[in-house]
Structures are given as C-alpha cells and as structure tokens.
Amino acid sequence: MAEDWDVRTRLVQAEADSEEGAPLNTPLVLSTTFRAQPDGVGFSAEDLGDESPYFYARWSTPTVRTLERRLAELEGGEDALCFASGMAAITGLLLHLLGPGDHLVISDVCYAGAAEFVRGKLRRFGVEVSIVDTSDLAQVRAALRPTTRLVYIETPCNPILKLTDVEAVAALAREAGARLAVDATLATPMGLQPLALGADFVIHSLTKYIGGHGDALGGVVVGRRTDLAALRQDSLIHLGAVLSPFPAWLILRSLPTLPQRMASHAATALEVATFLETHPRVHHVLYPGLESHPQAELARRQLRNTSGMIAFQAKDAPAVARRLAERLKVVKYAVSLGKPHSLIFYLPTEDMQRTSFQHPPELLERYRAWAGDGIFRLSIGLEAPRDLIRDLDQALKP
Ligand SMILES: *Cc1c(COP(=O)(O)O)cnc(C)c1O
C-alpha cells in the first residue's frame, strides 16, 4: 500500500485487488482444514513457522489472517493475533507471559473481567500481583520489582474513564526490564497508538468500537512479530479461543467506517457531556474531551479522539437508574459499548467493589474520590445529538 495514504484511504483498500476479476471485499473462507504435504507443516503447534501454509483452523485461517494484517497496519505494529473475544486476548496474553514467581503490576481499575481474572485465577498459578493506581506514576515506580515481567494498563479505563500516561509508564517499565501491555479498547486506534508511545502489546476487544455494529465478539493483541508468533504457538493454539472466520469477516466489513464512526461518537459525546454538565439532576460528569476532566491536559496530549464513553454521577442514583431504564426511548438500558445504539448502565460503587475490584482501603478511597457512590456509564452511539439530549432530559426529570 502507498505509504503516504491517509488512514481513511488505507482502510478501504482490499489486500490484493490489483488483478482483473479480484473481489474488492475480502472473501469469507469457512474451511477448518487445508490441503497439506507429508513433508510440510508438522502435526504439533511447535512446528508452526512464520511462513507455514494454512493447516488447521485453530492455527490460522485466511479470513482471520487478513483481519490480523489490517489491524497490525492500523496500530502501526509488526503483527496482530486475533482471539474469540477481548477476554480471550487478555487471558491468553497473561497466561503466556506470566508464570510462578513472576510479578505483574496492573491498574486498579480496568475491565471487570480482567480485574477478576488477575485477582483470582492468575494468583492461583503463583503469579505475584500488585494492583496500583497507574494514573499515579509514583505508585507505578514504587510497585516495580526486579521480578516484574509485565505492566498492564487500560486507558481510558472502563468504567470510570481515568487515564494513564502510556509514554511515562512505558519508560518506567523499560527501565525495570518489564514489558507493557495496554488495553486501548475505549480509545480505539483512532484515539491512541500505544506502540508508538513505547508499549509492547496493544489489546482491543473487537466486540466494541472496531467491530462497531454489536453483532460480533472478538479480541486482538498487536505487537512484535516474534512475540506474537510465540503467543500463537504457546497460547492461542492450545487454549483454543480462536476467532472464527464469520465474526472476523463482519469485523473486516466494519474497518472502513471506523474513522467516521469514531469522529461521530466523539463529537456527539462531547455535546451530550456538555449538556449533562449543566443538568440540575447530574453532577460530576467525566469525559476526556471536557476541559473539566481531571486529566484534560493528558487527554489533549495523548488522545487524538476522545471516544464515545461518558461517566456521570447523579443525585439519588438508584432511583434515577430505575427512571432511565423505564423512560429512555432512544438510549437503551443495557451493558456493553461501542455500538450504533447508545447504551446506559448504572454501576454502584458497592457492587463493583464487592465483586470485581475488592480494593484495599487506600485504593477504595481513590475509587470513591473519582466515582462517588456509583456512576452511570453512557456509551454514545451514532444517533443525532439532539435526540439523545432530549431523551436524557425527559428521562432525568423527577
Ligand atoms: C468489553 C471489554 C473487554 C472484554 O471484551 P469481550 O470482547 O467482551 O471479551 C476488555 N476490555 C475492555 C476495556 C472492554 O471494554
């Protein structure tokens, strides 16, 4: 592809469309096995080489491979490896990199599934875990040890939209001889390019903005070719949580519209967040694109698109949550994010702490200082800002 093409141009180019009769869209290949040679690829995952032909669908398939190449290109990485879901990408990477005696430093607030997995199962495998507020560089510095193998952050973090300075944490990790993994699902490649800031691995739940249509689960890890070849052999093939060709094909279909969708999500989110900031029933709106975000300077410096996620607190939140679920018409009361539909969900601090986070007192205090007794997580869809604002306004009325 031409080096100087804008990302919008690159995303609509097919892989090999220069021959006469070549399809402009990527074909969907649904085959679980591929013709082999007796002296070709060996039977074990360990025999898999960089240039091996397709062999069995748990190793790799053409449609998924096309998606991997395009996601690597989009992130500015050497290669990418897709998984069946964002969680499969996260657990696959952690189980590959960490073993007994290894030390992990992880953000105190990250995707609930990741927080629960690390706190429970990963510790059971003998991995030492330090859970720290990675938005505070002094905490990261103090947590690093000679045995630290990985620093894991999520920015902006789900659900409270706190940011971590990727460049600064990458420098600290490098000094300590540790790798850095960044879950950038909320930012998307349109907002943040962690590899360019010094990260070793970028993770996305493709289920969210990259898939973007609410009809496919998927996950990806992007990074160096040698790292990902090892991850494929050691983790993906044996854990078996591979992405199937059909969701891969749906996600490929979504890529050309990603820049336009993200521009729309972010512009509408800024309008809705600005409206919520002045609403008498609402207080403490958190949106990285607002000047009032406590890390607005970092957001300006590191996020090229501030995405479509808003978090806010409301007076008498449990009653407001019931009213919103009953009265909202345009916005749907449902979990998840990054869809055409706007979605809202209430996350009480007590519930989040009892189940997902279980923070010790010092971290609990930091969580409460940011999220209060609970936050509404609002994922802005592709609807018109005016309709969303009217819908929220009528539903927030007592
Ligand atoms: C949803 C999400 C995940 C998990 O992705 P799934 O595809 O649902 O497994 C991981 N990280 C973040 C930030 C998410 O929002």
Furthest-apart CA pair in the chain: how many Å? 73
Relative to the CA of 207, which ligand 1 atom is closest? Answer: 7
Enter the DSSP assignment of 157. P
What pLDDT shows up at residue 4?
A: 87
What residues does ligand 1 touch, defined as CB less than 6 Å away? 85-87, 111, 113, 154, 158, 183, 185-186, 205, 207-208, 217, 219
Region 351-363: mean pLDDT is 94
- Ligand 1 centroid distance, CA of 309 (Å): 14
How would residue 41 be classed by pLDDT, with cut points 50, 70 and 90? confident
pLDDT tens digits for 309-330? 999 999 999 999 999 999 999 9
On average, the pLDDT of the chain sits at: 95
| Helical (H) or strand (E) element with 43 | none
Above 80 in pLDDT, residue 47?
no
pLDDT tens digits for 255-290? 999 999 999 999 999 999 999 999 999 989 999 999
- 104 pairs with which residues across the strands? 129, 150
CB 221 within 8 A of CB 83: yes
What pLDDT shows up at residue 208?
A: 98
How would residue 13 be classed by pLDDT, with cut points 50, 70 and 90? confident
How would residue 340 be classed by pLDDT, with cut points 50, 70 and 90? very high
Region 6-28: mean pLDDT is 83
Relative to the CA of 113, which ligand 1 atom is closest? Answer: 4
Which pTM does this prediction carry? 0.97
pLDDT tens digits for 88-143? 999 999 999 999 999 999 999 999 999 999 998 999 999 999 999 999 999 999 99
What pLDDT shows up at residue 100?
A: 96
Residue count of the chain, please give it: 398
- Ligand 1 centroid distance, CA of 86 (Å): 5
Secondary structure, 3-state, 293-320: CCCHHHHHHHCCCCCCEEEEEECCHHHH
- Nearest Cα residue to atom 2 of ligand 1: 205
- Nearest Cα residue to atom 1 of ligand 1: 205
What pLDDT shows up at residue 20?
A: 85
What pLDDT shows up at residue 16?
A: 59
Relative to the CA of 89, which ligand 1 atom is closest? Answer: 9
- Cβ atoms within 10 A of the Cβ of 297, count? 11
pLDDT tens digits for 300-311? 999 999 999 999
Region 145-163: mean pLDDT is 98
Relative to the CA of 88, which ligand 1 atom is closest? Answer: 9
Above 70 in pLDDT, residue 15?
no
Task: Using the Cα atoms of residue 281, residue 110, residue 295 and residue 204 in order, give the sign of their dihedral.
Answer: negative
Relative to the CA of 157, which ligand 1 atom is closest? Answer: 13
- Ligand 1 centroid distance, CA of 180 (Å): 18
